[in-house]
Amino acid sequence: MEQNNKIAWVFPGQGSQSVGMEADLLDLPLGKMKFQQAEEILGWSVVDVCQNPDEQVSRTLYTQPSLYVIESILVDLLHHRGNQPQLVAGHSLGEYVALYAAGVFDFATGLQLVKRRAELMDSASGGQMAALMKFDRNQLEEQLAQTPNVVLANDNSPLQAVISGTPEAVDEVVNNVKARRVAKLNVSGAFHSPMMKEAAAEFQKVLDAAQLQDAQIPVLSNVDPSPATDATTLKNRLQQQITGQVRWREISLRLPEEGIEKVIEVGPGNVLTGLIKRTCSELTLENISNAASMH
């Protein structure tokens, strides 16, 4: 592998899942082993969920663990081939895979955290999230400042943002901001907002009990896009993530500042490379969505 240019691995979160995304990992001994281990931890089969034609994979409870398992297997395959990034980051759920890739916890510890996170987020109700494409940023910031119960949840790129809050507050903002397109997200709760406070408090208990090591590679976190390797720092950032903003636009901008030249999105779809391209067009982008896409 070319070691001369600095590479970052980034990991997508909820919204990148698709039926059949596990397909070519099933034939690999490593894949089989990890799917088996995951089933023992979860009490259900990621493979069955991914093969279910009724989009079971798009329910938060199943989406998050399934993405974690599949992306972790891809990380293992990359490591087996001698690949190592110089920096990692993940979008929301993807941050857990980034921490796994950086050696902060083992596969099982990460999956147990993700399982609990998915359960808590899946049971959240009464919230709404909406994505705005090609919007007026100043107008959005003004509107959010004067509307209670709604926040900027994901600052994804200069052209895309997600707001989160009560359905009434989300509607009010959406109706008063010019945007090319608005899409309500298919989630039950107002993720990455103060409405997730109870879930965050519950999650803290599991996180407190988890063993985290210092990262072997710097991690850019959602709530703080500065590189960190200290286990306590990374744990605190994870804790804030459930109620905090996903600052993906700033993560994208940080990559070239850290000397990164190439970004590989490891996981299904190409959401993150699309967002990074709109923020930092000079970076070389690649997608590894399955075993076949590795060379």
Active-site positions read 92, 192
Neighbouring-strand partners of residue 151: 164
Contact (Cβ atoms closer than 8 angstroms) between residue 163 and residue 156: no
**Cα–Cα distance between 139 and 116 in angstroms, integer?**
37
**HSE of 172 in the Cβ direction (CA atoms, 13 Å)?**
15
DSSP state of 246: B
At 249 the three-state DSSP class reads helix
CA 79 to chain centre: 20
**HSE of 289 in the Cβ direction (CA atoms, 13 Å)?**
15
Cβ count near 122 (within 10 Å):
18
